Amino acid sequence: MKVKDNPKVYQWVLVLSSVALACMVTFLVFNTYKLKDERFHAFQKESMISAYGQYVKNEKLFPGGNKLFAEHFEKQLPFLLSIEDQALFDTTRDSIVNAFLGQLRQHHNFDTLFQRILIDQQLDRDFVYKLTFDRLEIIKNPDRGWIPIYQVKADDPQAGIAGTLRKISNNNRALQLSINNNQGAEYRFTYSLFVDRPNRVSQVLQDMSLVLFFSVACILLTILINYRTFQNWVNQRKETQLKNDFIQHIRHEFNTPITTIVVAARSLYDMPFARANEKEVKETSAIIERQGMRLRFYVKQILMSITLEEQKPDFLLSDINELTAVLLCDIALRFEDKISITYKKADQAYPVWVDSLLYLCILDNLIENAYKFNKEKNKHVHLFWQVTDADVLRLCIQDNGEGISADDLNYIFQKFYRSKKAQSRSGLGLGLYYSYLCASKMNWEIVVADAPKKGTSMEIIIPTKN
């Protein structure tokens, strides 16, 4: 099977291209989010760091921090350095560090300091912070260098000294400082200050609202364009196939009567005059007449397809109830005993603006279909009125034929459309199209209604107020 003739290949190309586009846009949006997240409140952070540096000059962590370090850590450090036993050293170290961190958490004044910074720098008051103690090192033996006695671990609750910020990361870290103390006891420590809003993610997404909107719009618009393009391609492919089938069909339909007429005419020409009799001449003439009428019908349909679309209705206010009866009498003469046509007239007159020729075309084509697609021995079509709305009339047309399959319902009014049932019968696929076109010109509608038991039920919907 050729790729160009397989719609499923195009469907998969459409789906995969749409997914690829969505993935690419998602990747770009995600990287934009990461960049925004890294630089979120960068200016405010710089202002806070500058102000914080001014407030804690010559202090550790916060104003009054030097005193806490001196009383609760520096006094205990000589004793810790004098311990030689490693097990005792580890126990004492943990005890001193935990007590020291507990004093920092209990006696800090960072809440007041942080609020003062926000006010002085004219920053939003909804910022929150987290002050963490990350690392503490001492020198026990100069040859061995710095020995860590405290190292923060991930999600360690002991690391927090002050603040209510829950989620901390490198993106909301405002500063990380390492401080060396060379006055008396040698030690150094590292601490971090994290600053952020409680709703950081929603704030970042809000800043990206335009990016998100245009990204989603781009994806949806591209998918819509691809889908519409695919649908147009499918419809054009179907129309091309219908046109090709129509050309093949009309070639056959025209060739058959023409060949029959030629053969019949040749038979008359070759028939010896002395042997000619009235019966043979009549039979041959009847063949020519039937095929000539068949050919004329096809030519008429082709000409109608050209002229009917440009024709303007010639409206006349008429009693649609009585006009229907008159037109059905004319149609019944054409079908003679081929199909039984019954009509139940309404009890009153219905004045409607109508073009009688267009109305005749509608009824004629619908009744012809009722006859053509009917295998019953006693073919029958019944017409009657239904009035469910004061402004709308419904002419119901029911037959006892084969009915319309669900697969064909969406296409029966299309030009040149022929269902599978119609392939074995003569015709050009124009009858219902003409009926639909004539109805539209008069602002009417033709719909397929549910058949009661079998056959087809059509309705002509006629507005009484045009």
pTM of the model: 0.45
| Same domain membership, residue 451 and residue 360 | yes
Domain count, the chain: 3
Of 196, 221, 256, the residue that ends a domain is 196
Instruction: Give the CA dihedral 266, 270, 272, 278, nearest 10 degrees.
Output: -10
How many C-beta atoms surround the C-beta of residue 336 within 10 A? 7
| 326 Cβ contact list (under 8 Å, min separation 6) | none
Give the helix/strand (H/E) hosting 94.
helix 86-107
Cα separation, 315 vs 300, whole angstroms: 23
Within-domain flag for 114: yes
Say what the pLDDT of residue 393 is. 92
| Same domain membership, residue 363 and residue 253 | no
C-alpha distances in angstroms, 121 versus 44, 171, 226, 368? 9, 21, 53, 89
Within-domain flag for 412: yes
The domain of 249 spans 241-307
| Same domain membership, residue 315 and residue 302 | no
Instruction: Give the CA dihedral 66, 68, 71, 74, nearest 10 degrees.
Output: -60
Say what the pLDDT of residue 99 is. 92
132 contacts 161 by C-beta, under 8 angstroms: yes
Query: Hey, what amino acid is at 111?
Result: D
Tokens 């998969």 map to which residue?
Answer: 12
413 contacts 440 by C-beta, under 8 angstroms: no
- The CATH number that applies at residue 338 is 3.30.565.10
Say what the pLDDT of residue 384 is. 94
Say what the pLDDT of residue 309 is. 63
Say what the pLDDT of residue 3 is. 44
Say what the pLDDT of residue 180 is. 84
Residue 277 CA, chain-centre distance (Å), reads: 74
Say what the pLDDT of residue 100 is. 92
**Which of 138, 173, 120, 433 minimizes the C-alpha distance to 304?**
433
C-alpha distances in angstroms, 104 versus 69, 109, 178? 8, 9, 17
| Same domain membership, residue 141 and residue 46 | yes
- The CATH number that applies at residue 303 is 1.10.287
54 contacts 41 by C-beta, under 8 angstroms: no
Kindly report the average pLDDT of the chain as a whole number. 80
Q: Is 379 helix (H, G, I), strand (E, B) or coil?
A: coil
168 contacts 132 by C-beta, under 8 angstroms: yes
Say what the pLDDT of residue 218 is. 85
| Same domain membership, residue 173 and residue 257 | no
Q: Residue count of the chain, please give it.
A: 466
| Same domain membership, residue 284 and residue 172 | no
- Tell me the per-residue pLDDT of 117-141, one tens digit each, with 9 for 90 and over: 888 888 878 888 999 999 999 887 7
**What's the start-to-end Cα distance of the chain, in Å?**
53
| Same domain membership, residue 379 and residue 270 | no
| Same domain membership, residue 444 and residue 358 | yes
Q: Which percentage of the chain shows pLDDT scores above 90? A: 15
Tell me which residues of the chain have a pLDDT lower than 50: 1-3, 274
32 contacts 211 by C-beta, under 8 angstroms: yes
Cα separation, 340 vs 345, whole angstroms: 16
